[in-house]
Amino acid sequence: MSRSPVPSRPVSTAAFHGVTLVFFTGCAAWLVRESRELGGRPGMMGLGVAVAAAGLALVALGALVGLLRGGRLLALRSRAEMGTYALVLATMAVLALVGLRLFSSEGRPALATFCLGVAGWLAGVGLHGVPALFLGPSGFIDSLGRRTPFSRLEWFTFQRETGDLPRVRLQAGHGTRLLLAARLASADEDAVRTALVGAGLTSRRR
């Protein structure tokens, strides 16, 4: 008989965002230096990419703070649609090819490192290399630190999927608004249902 999952600190996800924060902060500084050396139009493009790197660093910082403030969380085994995985993999492949080309023939190591770093970041958040959704005492937190508290929700539904892997679709919202949608492993359904019912939400039938 399998043991029930136990809430814990999201150490691996927090570490991922900590590394992401340091990496993209360093990338932003390196890109600024590289853009100054290049000058002209390539330099302006480099500055634009530096802004993007700084933006990703801020996203990582926000996610890190949100997860650490959440305390002990239950990592849910959520999965995206197959089409989403295909799109993420295609984007990663393009970024990796561009990064390798920039390294080998363009003489743009900072930009190349940024492209390869974004590909790695997508592997974490897009391919669910780290848990994408957590259940906390007061609501849900995703891997980017965004919260969906129980207080904003009124109802929820579960719908079982057919296929080789047992999955359930969770939807939750308030009134006519859908505020949360996720594909979860069937093993997570009982824990999530118990938390939602305990928070006073109403189960709806589809």
Q: Do 187 and 110 have their domain in common?
A: no
How many domains, the chain?
2
Burial 26-63 (b: 16+ CB within 10 A, else e): ebbebbbebbeebeeeeeeebbebbeebbebbebbbeb
Determine the Cα–Cα distance for residues 201 and 206; give it in Å rounded to an integer: 16
pLDDT tens column, 85-142: 899 999 999 999 999 998 887 778 999 999 999 999 999 998 888 888 999 989 999 9
Question: Could you give the 3-state DSSP secondary structure of residue 74?
Answer: strand
pLDDT digits (tens, 9 = 90+) for 61-72: 999 999 988 888
**Residue-range definition of the domain harbouring residue 40:** 11-69+81-125
Query: Are residues 176 and 118 both part of a single domain?
Result: no
Are residues 34 and 89 both part of a single domain? Answer: yes
Residue linked to tokens 């480099």: 46
